[in-house]
């Protein structure tokens, strides 16, 4: 059986069938009825996915679980308690550092911290040094690990989108005296091309639904003007597919189409973000004061829920296997007045009176407020991963089982790039050990990335990033099953 093709794309997409309509190319999840016997036998070649999720402004000391070990020997910390239902899929990584990217002695102090450390989070390169080598090029950095994956022969061209960049920022953040591309984008396609995130759920939805289809944007505008759904556009195509399905796959098709419609309705209902491109999606040319906090036209929780739905949909439809997700810009001044304050001890937290202020100010003083904001964001990551865990990937595993979700920050609570808040969720297609808290001592962050690249995703990269101490690149064997 030939792999289905999207007209005009020239790309073959394995394992999936595409529903087509005006401006829509909707890739279905794995349906056994549509696969030839040889394709079913090849199901062991699982679609692996990589999802780095960026946590700005570090995390409090109580991020770290109180004990190391695996299984029953360790427990989640109070800040990480939203991940309780997913504990068996989690590995907390303590002892990762990125100071060796900047300092020959491996020191963890890097200033300005928010402006420099963020640029190195997915690249493990000192952007200032790259800029000097390029004659003071303003936007300069290394190629980020997500883009190494997206450009590899094992990933490139297998999906309609090689990668996707999304985020929750709504206002112009402070760039700490460095090029804003370093703190507003974590994905770099080339040393001079940052891939800015899209923060508008409607824009992301239209991008996903029209990926590989001609005139997708024009058709999306026309559909909304006529109060039509994307499902109206693919109704005829779905009618051709449905008679070919067994009872189980018919139910799966209906559940999937209902899920697509649910996401579409959530975005259409608003207010998530204000329409008409008010929310910046590129290099943030305009300061939008009205989005510095929640209000009548904006709610951070609704925004996060919509973006979670879209990331989950992108993976379920196999529209892309590489997504970078910024929970905020590195030094955002957004007021987290949607987050109730909590009181924390090592293992638990309890609601407290009042609500939080902005993330950066909390990092500078109020530890419980700081922990409350991070706890809320961990909860949103947990909600996304639970969606992935509930999605059947067609071979007895869930989408989360076949994914590597990396939640991390570029600095610790004290602004040093040592003992970086970092954890993995998902099984990487069975390649990762999970349900553990590892003490990595003082291990370079780039060692994690080479482990994911080669040990989990099956690439053959020989180098990544920089270590100015001269320490060789070395995979983290404790992570691999």
* Sequence ranges of the domains in the chain: 49-200+324-479
**C-alpha angle 185/188/192, rounded to 5°?**
105
Alpha-carbon torsion, ordered 53, 446, 126, 48, to 10 deg: -40
d(CA 243, CA 28): 15
3-state SS assignment for residue 289: helix
pLDDT, one tens digit per residue, over 185-206 is: 999 999 999 999 999 888 898 8
Q: What is the pLDDT of residue 160?
A: 85
d(CA 263, CA 141): 35
Look at 248-252, 285-289, 412-416 and tell me which has the smallest mean pLDDT: 285-289
d(CA 418, CA 320): 32
Structure letter (DSSP) for residue 188: E
- 422, 77 in Cβ contact below 8 A? no
Give me the chain's average pLDDT, please: 87
Strands 90-97, 49-54: pairing kind: unpaired
**Res. 147: pLDDT tops 60:** yes
d(CA 116, CA 98): 11
Q: What is the pLDDT of residue 212?
A: 64
**Res. 5: pLDDT tops 50:** no
> Which residue did the predictor score with more confidence, 210 or 47?
47
Q: Does domain 49-200+324-479 have CATH number 3.40.720?
A: yes
Kindly state the average pLDDT of the residues 123-151. Answer: 95
Kindly state the average pLDDT of the residues 254-280. Answer: 66
pTM for the predicted model, two decimal places: 0.89
Strands 49-54, 403-408: pairing kind: parallel
- 275, 202 in Cβ contact below 8 A? yes
pLDDT, one tens digit per residue, over 407-455 is: 999 999 999 999 999 999 999 999 999 999 999 999 999 999 999 999 9
Look at 40-44, 174-178, 210-214, 432-436 and tell me which has the smallest mean pLDDT: 40-44
The neighbour count for residue 245, using CB atoms within 10 Å, is 17
Q: What is the pLDDT of residue 16?
A: 65
d(CA 460, CA 457): 9
- 109, 98 in Cβ contact below 8 A? no
Kindly state the average pLDDT of the residues 315-332. Answer: 93
Give the percent of the chain with pLDDT over 90: 63
């Amino acid at each position: 059986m030939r792999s289905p093709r999207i007209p005009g794309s020239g790309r073959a997409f394995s394992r999936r069938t595409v529903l087509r309509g005006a401006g829509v190319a909707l890739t279905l999840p794995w349906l056994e009825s549509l696969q030839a016997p040889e394709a079913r036998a090849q199901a062991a070649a699982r679609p692996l996915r990589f999802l780095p999720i960026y946590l700005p402004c570090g995390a409090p000391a109580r991020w770290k679980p109180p004990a190391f070990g695996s299984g029953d020997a360790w427990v989640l910390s109070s800040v990480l308690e939203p991940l309780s239902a997913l504990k068996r899929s989690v590995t907390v990584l303590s002892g990762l550092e990125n100071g060796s990217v900047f300092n020959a002695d491996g020191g963890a102090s890097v200033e300005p911290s928010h402006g420099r450390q963020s640029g190195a989070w997915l690249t493990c390169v000192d952007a200032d040094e790259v800029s000097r080598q390029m004659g003071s090029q303003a936007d300069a950095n290394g190629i980020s690990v997500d883009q190494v994956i997206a450009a590899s022969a094992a990933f490139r061209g297998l999906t309609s989108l090689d990668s996707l960049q999304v985020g929750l920022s709504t206002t112009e953040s402070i760039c700490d005296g460095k090029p804003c591309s370093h703190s507003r984008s974590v994905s770099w396609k080339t040393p001079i091309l940052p891939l800015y995130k899209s923060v508008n759920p409607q824009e992301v939805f239209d991008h996903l639904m029209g990926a590989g289809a001609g005139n997708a944007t024009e058709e999306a505008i026309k559909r909304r003007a006529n109060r039509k759904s994307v499902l109206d556009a693919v109704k005829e195509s779905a009618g051709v597919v449905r008679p070919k399905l067994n009872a189980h796959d018919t139910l799966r098709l209906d559940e999937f189409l209902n899920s697509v419609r649910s996401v579409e309705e959530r975005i259409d209902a608003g207010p998530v973000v204000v329409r008409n491109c008010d929310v910046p999606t590129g290099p943030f040319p305009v300061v939008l004061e009205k989005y510095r906090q929640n209000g009548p036209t904006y709610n951070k929780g609704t925004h996060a829920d919509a973006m979670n739905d879209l990331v989950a949909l992108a993976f379920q439809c196999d529209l892309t296997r590489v997504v970078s997700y910024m929970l905020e810009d590195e030094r955002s001044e957004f007021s987290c007045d949607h987050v109730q304050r909590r009181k924390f001890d090592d293992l638990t937290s309890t609601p407290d009176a009042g609500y939080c202020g902005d993330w950066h100010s909390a990092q500078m003083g109020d530890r419980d407020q700081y922990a409350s904001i991070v706890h809320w964001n961990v909860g949103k990551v947990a909600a996304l991963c639970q969606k992935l865990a509930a999605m059947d990937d067609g071979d007895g595993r869930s989408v989360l089982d076949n994914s590597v979700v990396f939640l991390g920050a570029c600095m610790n609570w004290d602004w040093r790039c040592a003992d970086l808040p970092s954890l993995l969720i998902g099984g990487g297609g069975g390649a990762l050990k999970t349900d553990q808290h590892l003490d990595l001592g003082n291990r370079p962050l780039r060692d994690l990335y080479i482990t994911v690249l080669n040990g989990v995703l099956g690439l053959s990269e020989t180098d990544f990033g920089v270590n100015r101490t001269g320490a060789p690149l070395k995979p983290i064997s404790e992570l691999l099953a």
